[in-house]
Amino acid sequence: MGFRRHGPFQPGDQVQLTDPKNKRHTVTLKEGGVFHTHKGSIPHDDLIGLPEGSVVRSSGGTAYLAFRHLLQDYAVSMPRGAAVVYPKDAAMIVAMADVFPGARVVEAGVGSGALTCFLLRAVGESGHVTSYERRDDFAEVATKNVQKFFGGPMEQWRLVVGDFVEALDENDVDRVILDMLAPWECVDAAAKALTPGGVICCYVATTTQLSRTVETLREHGSFTEPHSWETLIRDWHVEGLAVRPDHRMIGHTGFLVTARRMAEGVVPPPRRRRPAKGNEAAT
């Protein structure tokens, strides 16, 4: 299946309709179908053949702007089995873990499939993503969400139902992404799967999980010094010269940790820590 359709709307496309109040509706087009709303109905045939960015009117006279929806919009609105990875964190995972076209990526904890969609987009047609998920119900939801977004099964994706440590059957992978409650339990398996120079990226929710993950990576001895952070997003309201931050923002959703796999048998240089001011010797 393709990664992105271009040109006029076609049957099977998922179209996002936005009304004047910026309320969005996602519609999967089919010949003879009708989108119903309290503001009137819109026949799908009115959309089929139109270019993206067109305006259609409901039978009640309301104008809707029509685009194929973006992955970021789909991710936050998809049916959920588990919590989804928010676009701000998925973007940081793709960027900071350096997920590139053609990469071989292993993901543990598929959730509802949101991050999987971002990873598949990033690796492209020449790459491959293998996802491991313990729960059958989560795997089923994720499969439906991924296939709905891309329009069918993806040759670049393999979903394995089972424990990551026990079921992992790959080596020389470029990236390992761990989105689970206890990623520290999977560090050794990830180290064995990663090629030298590869990146491990862990997504955790609490400071306790963050601390244990970082210390496990340090103690393992096969990784560089872990890098930890979180990402916050604040929108801005702009109306002429009235420019101010919005009152609400997307704050904490999770912490991210990345580290790189060193060559086999290499001992990392000892860390040099700057002592706290209170511990500095008196001069």
Q: Annotation-wise, does 181 bind a ligand?
A: no
Residue 172 annotated as binding site: no
41 carries a ligand binding annotation: no
- Tell me whether residue 222 is annotated as binding: no
Question: E strands, the chain, where?
Answer: 14-18, 24-28, 34-37, 40-43, 54-57, 63-68, 104-108, 128-133, 157-161, 173-179, 194-204, 227-229, 236-239, 242-245, 255-260
| Cα three-residue angle 185-187-189, rounded to 5 degrees | 95
Cβ neighbours of 270 (radius 10 Å): 6
58 is in an annotated binding site: no
Q: Bridge-partner residues for 35, per DSSP?
A: 42
Secondary structure class of 279 (helix, strand, coil): helix
Q: Tell me: is residue 112 an annotated ligand-binding position.
A: yes
Written as one letter, the residue type at 74 is Y
Q: What is the largest CA-CA distance in the chain?
A: 84
Q: Is 119 annotated as ligand-binding?
A: no
Binding-site residues from annotation: 112-115, 133, 163, 179
Residue stretches of the annotated binding site for S-adenosyl-L-methionine: 112-115, 133, 163, 179
